Each structure stands twice: as C-alpha cells, then as structure tokens.
Amino acid sequence: MSIKTRLIILGLCVLAFLLVTPYIVLYSLGYRVDFETLQIRGTGGIYVYAQPDPSSVMIDAVSAPKSSYFSSAVFVQNLMPGPHSVLIKKDGYYDYQKSLLVKEREVAKLENVTLFKQKINFALLENGVDYAAISPDESALLLATTQKAGINFDIITPGDNQKKSVILPVLNGKITEAAWSGDANKIVVTVSGNYYLLDASLAQPVIAPLLALVGASQVTFNPQNSQELFFVKNGALYSSLKTTPIIKNVIAYHAENSSVTFLAADGFLYQSDMAGITKTSITAAAFPLNPGATYEITMAEGMTFLQENNMLFLLDKATKSFQPLSTNISGLAHSPNNQKIAYFGDHQIFISSAARNYMDVALLDTYSDAITQVQWLNNDYVVVVAGNTVTLSEIDNRGLPAQAGNINKVALPSTLPLLQGENIAMQNPVIFFRQQDKKLYIFTQKEVIVSERLVP
C-alpha cells in the first residue's frame, strides 16, 4: 500500500472521528436526532410510581423496567420531546392511561397514581336509617331512625362498630343538621327547627332540648370547651354560658383555637378572643354586604374564605381585602394535608392549591348531573357524588389533548352488590370517606353501607 493511500485512509479515519465523536458525546449526554426536523434535540424522561404495585407500566406501548429491584417505580430516559402515552395495568384493577408531554432536559412525573379495584366489596352496616352524619374527627357515626316512640339515635364507633343509643320522644320530627364538639362527645341535632343536645360521653347517652337556642343559627361548639356553645341570634353572637351577647352585630363567624373571626354588620372582618373582650380589624375596607344573602366563613392553613350565597372570596393578606375566587360555588373541601381545595357547584369541580396561594383556580372536570358532594380520598384523588353516581377521580388533569380525556376516574356501579347477598341501587347517596381506615361509607335507600379499604 502506497504512502499516498495510507494518508488518504488516515485522513478519512480522522474525518470520521471528528464527525462521529461529537455525536457520541451528545448521545451520551442525552441528545438525539429529530428526523422530522433534522435537528439535534435534548431528550427527557418519564417517572411513574403507582400504588398498589402495578403488574406492568407501558411507555409508548413498550414495557418499562422498574427503576430498581427494591422499588416499584419506573423511570424511562432518552425520550424525544413531545407526547408520550403511559399505560399502567394490574390484574383485577382498572387501567390507568394518560398522554404526557415530555420536554427537553425535563422529567415528566406521575408519582401519585392510585389504582382502583374493578370490584369493590361493600357490606351493610345499618338499615332503616333516616339520617346519617360523621364527626369531624371521624371517630363516631350518628345514625337516626324514626320509630313509633320517637327518633332513635345510634352513636357508632367505626371499626369495632360499638353502639350506644338514645331515643328523643318527638313524633314526626325531621333531622336536618348535626353539629359536633371537638372531642365528638356532644352533638347538637336540629330536629324540625328545634335544637337538642345529645351527650354521647355517658355510658347511656342523654338528649335534651336547648331552649335558649330558639330562633338561633350558626350553632357551633367552642373548639376548646365542649361545654360551651356559640350561636347567632338577633344579629349577635352568644355563648351558652352567658345571657348577654359576647359580640354584637355579627353576620357570620368562625371559632378556631382561642379566637373568633367574624364578619360584622359594618362589612369589616374582625378577630376577637372567645370572650369578645378584645377586637381587632382584619380587613382595611368594608365588604359590600347584600341584604338577604347568606354568609359563611371558612379558615384553613392561615387562609380565610368568605362565601356569599354561591360566590366565594379569599382574603388577600397584602391588601387586607376579599378578592373574588370563584362563582357558582355550593361547597368546598380541603385535602388531608390542607394544601389543596376542591370547590364544586352545579356540574363543575375546581381545584386550587397553597403552592399558588389559592388564587389560581383551575377547572378540574364537568359532570352531566349536578354535583352534591366532594370529599378527598387522599391528597391527589377525590370522591364525587353527582346525581345518583359516586365517582373516584384523580385531580391530575395534565395530558393531551389539553381540554379532555386527561382525568382517570372510576364510577361505582349504580347497583352495589353487598357481601350479605343483597343489592342496593344508589339513590341520592350521601357519602363519608373516613381517612382513618380509608373506607367509604354510603347512606342511600335508608341503608348505610361501607366499602373495603379503597386506597393504600
């Protein structure tokens, strides 16, 4: 071989090295050639973690290996920017599907996926029930049944189902509300517009009328003293331990810890001690009150919400004024960690989070039937009652297309088969999801039924 030939071969090798080496380096750094645009682009990845442990995770119809032997998580790298499909499967569970947008040099995460059984077992807890409620701390269920002698109240401890009962000798009474003390030992029940105090702390509960509360509204317990009730009457806030008002000209209030936050008749929001002795203005300007409107104050994680009929406002601490948050809202529910809020009204659910100071409210989903209840299953899933349907839904609405098909949700059967062998058709169901045992309690058709554990 001549020297000239050798030099040509050497030159070609050097040229090839100079051409290939940058690509190898870029390839090792996660860059790939986009053959559609003929550009070199940075890749991204998808991280998936689901509970319970899935049987398989498919990324773009290709099975993805677990990230490690000790983890059920999946991490796929070197994905070209753009939409990628994710399919999570587990035998006996509903599939989870989502189309995620992967960006250059970023990882799209699905780290809070919950899989639901295709067949959820339910059991009958009580039948013949006319009213059902659960205590805020989830330690007790109140069930009421109309009998010939009056209304029978059962206080049941979920889990061991221990029961204590008492009869209120009121005929043809209708129960509309139950207000619990912080320790769940006392309950104020509203029966046909009259108030009764049910003391469940005794071995044999007793119930008695609260004559001082005739004509009252907004009845709550002192959060630090279950022996004291607060209520609004004749435009003033009263304590059951005093005969005179503790705060005058009160429209709505919220008692928390050792203070009372209240909206006064002058439109200002104030904070006072429990005795009403000290009073500090919270807002800098008067809120425009509407005659005939109903008002409710809700507080969570230092945030103050004011609901006027179906309008919801949030107190802006910087301006010390209420800013409109959402319209047509009939209720709201806080996530277990108090970092997210679900708002619902008519046919729509909205979500806001503490990460954005609750001011950014996003539409989550729209239902064909009117929504009557929303409760949280965990910090990433809600249970929704719309019409006669109960739906378990995620709140992660990312995906493509941006406007639809992004939410994984499972509707319970319209007729639930019970372990006892009978079937119950859901009609106007009322739900209680108990965080302590992760079970769903459903009150429908005068029966209270309870599910198996729904989420890990």
Which ranges of 86-155 does DSSP label H, i.e. alpha helix? Answer: none
Instruction: Report the distance separating Cα 135 and Cα 141, nearest Å.
Output: 6
**Same structural domain, 21 and 68:** no
**Same structural domain, 19 and 80:** no
Residue 68 lies in a domain: yes
Number of domains in the chain: 2
Report phi then psi at 443, rounded to 5: -105, 115
Residue 383 lies in a domain: no
Give the per-residue pLDDT at 107. Answer: 93
Look up residue 301 and give its amino acid.
Answer: E
Which are the contacts of 311, defined by CB distance < 8 A and separation ≥ 6?
A: 324, 326, 327, 329
Residue 81 lies in a domain: yes
Which 8-state DSSP code applies to residue 20? H
Give the per-residue pLDDT at 25. Answer: 43
Residue 403 lies in a domain: no
Q: End of a domain among 114, 135, 165?
A: 114
188 has which bridge partners?
A: 179, 197
Look up residue 438 and give its amino acid.
Answer: K
Contacts 24+ apart (CB under 8 A), 261-270: 261/297, 261/299, 261/304, 262/237, 262/297, 263/287, 263/295, 263/297, 263/306, 265/235, 265/289, 269/304, 269/306, 269/315, 269/322
Residue 256 lies in a domain: no
Give the per-residue pLDDT at 5. Answer: 67
Give the per-residue pLDDT at 80. Answer: 87
Structural domain harbouring 100:
43-114
Residue 167 lies in a domain: no
Give the per-residue pLDDT at 72. Answer: 81
Closest CA to 168 of 187, 184, 140, 141: 187
Closest CA to 401 of 109, 83, 87, 96: 83
Residue 28 lies in a domain: yes
Residue 92 lies in a domain: yes
Look up residue 247 and give its amino acid.
Answer: I
CATH of the domain at 74: 2.60.40.10
Give the per-residue pLDDT at 265. Answer: 97
**Same structural domain, 73 and 98:** yes
**Same structural domain, 54 and 101:** yes
From first to last of its 456 residues, the chain has per-residue pLDDT tens of 677 666 566 566 655 555 544 544 444 445 545 555 555 667 889 999 999 999 999 999 999 887 666 678 999 988 989 899 999 999 999 999 999 999 988 999 999 999 999 999 999 999 999 999 999 999 999 999 999 999 999 999 997 889 999 999 999 899 999 999 999 999 999 999 999 999 999 999 999 999 999 999 999 999 999 999 999 999 999 999 999 999 999 999 999 999 999 999 999 999 999 999 999 999 999 999 999 999 999 988 788 999 999 999 999 999 999 999 888 899 999 999 989 999 999 899 999 888 777 778 888 999 999 999 999 999 999 999 999 999 999 999 887 665 555 899 999 999 999 988 889 999 999 999 999 999 999 999 999 999 999 999
Q: Which residues in 223-309 belong to E strands, given as ranges? A: 225-233, 236-239, 247-248, 250-256, 259-264, 269-273, 279-281, 295-300, 303-308
**Same structural domain, 26 and 89:** no
